[in-house]
Chains A and B, each alone.
Chain A
Amino acid sequence: MVEPLLALDDLAVHFKVGSALAGGVRTLKAVDGVTLDVKPGECLGLVGESGCGKSTLALAIMGLIPPTHGHIRLDGVDLSQRQRLETARTVQMVFQDPYASLNPRQTVRRTLADPLRLHGVTDRAEVEIRVKDMMDRVGLRPEQADRYPHEFSGGQRQRIGIARALILKPRLVICDEPVSALDVSIRAQIINLLLELKDEMGLAYIMISHDLGVVEHVSDRVAVMYLGRIVEQGGWQEIFENPRHPYTRALIAAIPDPFHRAVVSARAKAKGEIASALNPPPGCHFHPRCPLKAERCTVEVPALDAVAVDHRAACHFRERTD
């Protein structure tokens, strides 16, 4: 068995919100007991709607938010035991909004060269070569190196964001909605680029997206999150062809498929809206919206148990396929 590159073990990130004076301090469980791993060269699709904790999970893996409890291990070593710079050379991130995530006062060259210098590449010629090479790989012309972000279109800016993430040759890249801020006609370019780079550089990805079409296209394995917990995970084909959690089925049912009009059974659809993470429903968090809801779901948290090889679902009715 391949050693996981990244292993999350019962990871939780809780935030205190409110003040003792105004209504009391409450705990927001953004991530609540997540166990996951990512193997080298693998793409894990992380799916969920806003507020489910997927971005908090990403920031915790980047070491930007300390976990409340549980462990994040990179190459078997806990994040808290690792050198900050060493972690940065292993894990990098591509952000959703290429307009907000680039420094408007830095040229592309500076954006790409700074991390190299910080990580000890001081030889000017080498910095120059690596910057040029990286620009070339992401489809930017090296002569554009002295331009500023505002001189580029959205798609090109995302290429700069990708180049910045890859310049240190990381092994894991967290892509947080990398195409959802881009024009529809540009998305295919960026998705193709990410997949090419993955093969060329042997990268592992955590692909965070709410677009199931994109997730199915790029992922080797998929994890579905709902209100801080993983509700289903497994190989991409298992998840998309044999989803066992009603929430996963609702997500798939909600995608308008232009080629097969409105064939979705009303039964698969989720009712109502996502509860607040401050006050999640007891038992299974999904039960108020669930078509399969029973008494048990309102009190007992379902475990994330196996339904098939490499396929787990946290539902009391995981064996039901209707």
Chain B
Amino acid sequence: MSDPLLQVDALRIALAGNRTTYNAVEEVSFEIGRGEAFGLVGESGCGKSITALAIMGLLRRPLSLAGGRIVLDGEEIQDASAAEMRRLRGKRIAMIFQEPMTALNPLSPVGKQIAEMFVLHEGMGWNEAMDRAEEALRQVRVPSPERRIRDYPHQLSGGMRQRVMIAIALACSPELLVADEPTTALDVTVQAEIIDLMAELCAAKGTAILMISHDLGLVANMCRRVAVMYAGRIVEAQPADAIFAAPRHPYTRGLINSLPRLGERSRRGRQKLQEIAGTVPSIAGYPAGCRFNPRCPEATEVCLTVSPEATPLPADGLVRCHHHG
């Protein structure tokens, strides 16, 4: 990709244990173009959220950046100072978290929390910033924003709180929005609305999205390209359509085939769901070689010892499997 907005290159994140240090994330590389929606999918513990935190410069002990580069618009930010990162965050890269109740300040009215963005990053006075906050609430379709700006987070429903989070994140029209499971805490009908809203506003502002989720279907619907993570590594990356039509990694295939799909029973009758054997390995017990090998139906001798390299696929894709055929 020519001139990407964000480039993550061979990212490695270390987790300091009592005696040893583990690599919670390693060899993670991907690029996001300007205005592009990119999805990072994986199960809990696979390293997707800490990858997001690393991009935001928010890794804290026992986690730390142990290698690799994070390049935003041609500029390396992995070693940026805390002050530099504070200037970037909110202004050029912003983040939405899973649980809006814990991410918002419970002691501050939501209007003030939005206005703060304009004061900090655009040097506005508070009066003007509050007007802009009201406008921002209107944009995320909070009803009667002129009254809502004085509400505290606990006075809002979960969906409304997540709208406030989006308003804060998009206040300064950032170039990149990192959304970490933004709808997991919400009900399904509300989720659909929030996703639509996020996609629409980002398209209007030209903001790129890094969407992080365990829900492959949700991500594939929203993003042009998708990367699948397993046990700290990206095992496959492909355009969203291709990943469903022709998944190349056995883990991706397993994920797609293991979930009951709406309408499937009507079409083909009830089939036994395909299971992925075993359990997700813990970080202390990552197997040697390919980390998926104990659960993989196609594993052979080589998978037990040699970690597979990334094989490039068309359209900036990759697969990390010895038998990707």
Contacts and interface: CB of A to CB of B under 8 A. Distances in A.
Q: Do A and B bind each other?
A: yes
Interface of A: 49-50, 153-156, 183-189, 191-192, 195, 210, 212-214, 216-218, 236-237, 240-241, 250-259, 261-262, 269-271, 273-274, 289
B44 interface: yes
Interface in B194-220: 195, 214-218, 220
A184 B43 contact: yes
Contact of B266 (A185, A240, A252, A254): A240
A237 B263 CA distance: 9
Contacts, number: 129
Given A186-B279, A191-B273, A255 B262 contact: yes
21 contacts: A49-B187, A184-B258, A185-B276, A186-B276, A186-B280, A188-B259, A188-B274, A188-B276, A189-B276, A192-B272, A192-B275, A213-B259, A213-B260, A216-B265, A218-B260, A236-B265, A257-B263, A258-B221, A273-B159, A273-B160, A289-B189
Interface residues of B, number: 46
Contact of A269 (B192, B220, B254, B272): B192
B43 A257 contact: no
B258 A213 contact: no
B188 A254 contact: yes
A184 B188 CA distance: 17
Nearest to A266: B196
Interface in B244-262: 244, 251, 254-256, 258-262
Contacts of A185: 43, 251, 254-255, 258, 276, 280, 295
Contacts of A271: 193
A49 B43 contact: no
Nearest to B271: A217
Contacts of A186: 276, 279-280
A269 B258 contact: no
A236 B266 CA distance: 9
B315 interface: no
B43 A216 contact: no
A299 to B, nearest CB: 23
Contact of B215 (A212, A217, A240, A256): A256
A213 B218 CA distance: 13
SS class, residues of chain A in contact with chain B: helix
A270 B273 contact: no
Nearest to B258: A188
Nearest to A270: B189
B270 interface: yes
A103 B291 CA distance: 32
Contacts of B254: 185
Given A187-B258, A187-B259, A273-B159, A257 B217 contact: yes
A251 B191 CA distance: 11
Nearest to B192: A254
Nearest to B45: A183
Contact of B189 (A188, A214, A254, A259): A254
A191 B260 CA distance: 9
A270 B187 CA distance: 12
B193 A269 contact: yes
B302 interface: no
B155 interface: no
A320 to B, nearest CB: 20
Nearest to A219: B265
Contact of B262 (A154, A183, A213): A213
Contacts of B275: 188-189, 192
Nearest to B191: A254
Contacts of B214: 184
Given A184-B214, A184-B215, A258-B216, 14 more contacts: A155-B279, A184-B216, A186-B276, A186-B279, A216-B262, A216-B264, A217-B270, A237-B266, A253-B192, A254-B191, A256-B220, A257-B221, A258-B221, A261-B241
Most A CB contacts (10 A, CB to CB) among B222, B255, B259, B261 go to B259
Contact of A188 (B159, B217, B273, B280): B273
A250 B192 CA distance: 10
Nearest to A255: B262
A254 B275 CA distance: 26
A72 B132 CA distance: 55
B276 to A, nearest CB: 4
B311 interface: no
Closest 5 CB pairs of A and B: A217-B260, A188-B258, A49-B187, A254-B192, A188-B273
Contacts of B255: 184-185
A185 B228 CA distance: 13
Contacts of B260: 191, 213-214, 216-218
B157 interface: yes
B188 A255 contact: yes
Contact of B261 (A236, A241, A257): A257
B183 to A, nearest CB: 10
Contacts of A240: 262-263, 266
Contacts of B288: none
A256 B189 contact: no
Nearest to A212: B262
Contacts of A254: 188-189, 191-192
B16 interface: no
A276 B134 CA distance: 25
A257 B258 contact: no
B120 interface: no
Most A CB contacts (10 A, CB to CB) among B159, B270, B275, B295 go to B275
B189 A257 contact: no
B189 A250 contact: yes
